[in-house]
Amino acid sequence: MAKELGLDKDGQQKHLKPVDYLTDSLGQFSLNSINQLTGQMTYFYTTKVGMASGTVGTVLLISKIFDAVSDLIMGKLVDKTNTKDGKARPWLFRMIIPTVLALVLLFTVPSSMGAFRYVYALITCVFANAVVYTAISVPYYTMMSYKTKSSEEKGKMGTWRAAVGYAVGVGCGIGLIPITVALGDDQMAWIKFAAILGILAGICLFITYKCSREIYHDEGAMAEKEARISIIEGVKMLIHNKYWIIITIVGVAMNIMYGVVLVAPMFYGSIILDNPGFYSTVNTVNIFPSVVGFLTVGFWIKKFGLTGTAKCASIIGIAGCLIRMAAPMNPTVFLAGGCLVMYGTIPLISVLPAMTLNTAEQNMQNYGVRITGMTNSSNSFVGKLGGGVGGSLIGWVLAAGGYDAFLATGGGAANLTGALKTAVFAVNTYIPMAMYIVILLFLLRYDYEEKLPEIIRSNAKIEAETMKGKNA
């Protein structure tokens, strides 16, 4: 199979056929199911369980702090795993049942137990994110590096995964409110919806597990050296990898932006327009720029590379935010600007996983080990931290704008204040724009991709010499 596919533009052997991309991408279903539903917790907690929006934001952020520790631990576990199924692949199978449980438990928070509701919410959010999401995402993204050394194939894997992830987002965005309303429009309706999504996520995880194949990972002396590295030592190595630091910062900003962009329109519709159904309209309209994004991202990658693609996407996203700022009360302008904002997210979520994994080669240059699992733990970390901060920002900003008082008075245009309008505009436009700007500024300092082919060749020589010395 390898000879049939040839080499990529950097001279790396290609291994993956369309069926490999498809079955690999289905693993993303579980991650985005967790992301999408945890992203809706502010709305669910405040409107269905009656919890205070500001406190909810704090609960969500605290849960993300636990995630930071779990990502590093999981990265180390992947680096130490060595089974007949590989290093990363077995974890997908182990997380099938926990995925279903995590999604359902999120919505079983007791609605009449006072302060205990917040404790329960924290525990279930930690289980969903710090345990289940981490134990899927770190191995899943690390497996990308074990399947191929080709940046082109990694980019394609990222695009396929992003497409599946986006499909989950669109499906939830369009179907969440109508389906839960049809199921009873109460807490039990959300539990049923989560159970259905959890079962589908488990099936997709199993397919990815069965159809994946690990080709590359360190063995022998290299694996032994990597296994001896502690979490603290690994963190020190990563901190001294400037390219990993840059991509991690970019990833946090991207996920804050993405988390806000997916959820904030719900509040634009319900508060500014007094029409909760507008959220479904936003997600329906966003299908077009997203499909165009997935169809064109391959061209962007071939033309400009991973880094150039991310830069162009950031500029497009900034343009979309500026359009929204021109007439913030106009729903048509909101939708038009949102098309560019959404288009900009597609290349970013497609290329960042590959860009993160590529920085493991720099660890090899610096210290003689890749610590791929720990390097890749940032993919999970930035996703959860960014999504958590994004969700918390929505709660905090709306609380500062008087959202709780707005709900207490029954809502509607008559109770809409200038402060609350500004808060809604902030979460829908100002915060996403700020994150796009941060991404662009850091990417302008990123020159690693042009150095990567030579670094890979150099690392191959180091490995060959190490193996030669071991066998001598």
Q: Which domains does the chain have, with CATH numbers?
A: 14-471 (1.20.1250.20)
Q: Which residues contact 460 (CB under 8 A, 6 or more apart)?
A: none
Structure tokens belonging to residue 46 = 């405040």
**What pLDDT band is residue 1 in, cutting at 50, 70 and 90?**
very low
Least confident of 124-128, 216-220, 412-416, 422-426: 216-220
Average pLDDT, integer, range 399-407: 89
Cβ neighbours around 367 below 10 Å, total: 18
Whose structure tokens read 């880094």? 307
| Mean pLDDT, residues 194-218 taken together | 90
The whole-number pLDDT of residue 221 equals: 56
**Phi, psi dihedral angles at 86 (to 5 degrees):** 115, -165
Q: How far apart are CA 153 and CA 312, in angstroms?
A: 20
Question: Which distant-in-sequence residues (6+ apart) come within 8 Å of 333 by Cβ?
Answer: 323, 324, 326, 327
Confidence category of residue 463, pLDDT binned at 50, 70, 90: confident
Instruction: Return mean pLDDT, the chain.
Output: 86
What pLDDT was estimated at residue 227? Answer: 67
DSSP letters spanning 36-59:
HHHHTHHHHHHHTS---HHHHHHH
Task: Give residue 223's pLDDT.
Answer: 62
- Top-confidence residue, 305 or 387: 305
Task: Determine the pLDDT at residue 383.
Answer: 66
Please check the confidence at residue 22 and state whether its pLDDT lies above 70: yes
Average pLDDT of 2-22? 77
Q: How many CB atoms lie within 10 A of CB 398?
A: 26
At which residue do the structure tokens 């634009």 appear? Answer: 268
| Mean pLDDT (whole number) for 207-211 | 95
Which one-letter DSSP state was computed for residue 409? T
What pLDDT is recorded for position 68? 65
DSSP 3-state assignment of 214? coil
Q: Is 419 exposed, middle or buried (0-12, 13-18, 19+ CB in 10 A)?
A: middle
pLDDT surpassing 90 at residue 54: no
Residue 118 has pLDDT above 90, yes or no: no
Q: Cβ contacts of residue 123 below 8 Å, gap of 6+?
A: none
| Maximum average pLDDT range among 87-96, 151-160, 164-173, 300-309 | 87-96
Q: Give the per-residue pLDDT at 49.
A: 81
User: Cα separation of 171 and 173, whole Å?
Assistant: 5
Does the structure show a pLDDT above 70 at 325? Answer: yes
Helices 242-263 and 360-367, packing angle to 10 deg: 160
Would the pLDDT of 172 be above 60? yes
When pLDDT is cut at 50, 70 and 90, the band that residue 153 belongs to is confident
Q: Is the pLDDT of residue 378 over 70?
A: no
Q: What is the pTM of this model?
A: 0.73
Please, are residues 402 and 417 in contact by the beta-carbon 8 Å criterion?
yes
Given this model, what pLDDT does residue 469 score? 57
**pLDDT reading at 277 higher than 70:** yes
Q: Vertex 362, ends 359 and 364: CA angle to 5°?
A: 120
- Cα separation, 367 vs 371, whole angstroms: 10
What integer is the mean pLDDT of 323-330? Answer: 96
Instruction: Look at residue 2 in the predicted model and tell me its pLDDT.
Output: 42
Q: Which residues contact 414 (CB under 8 A, 6 or more apart)?
A: none
**What three-state secondary structure class fits 7?**
strand
**Does position 460 have pLDDT exceeding 90, yes or no?**
no
- Alpha-carbon span 298 to 193, nearest angstrom: 34
Q: At what angle do helices 151-182 and 187-211 cross, to 10 degrees?
A: 150
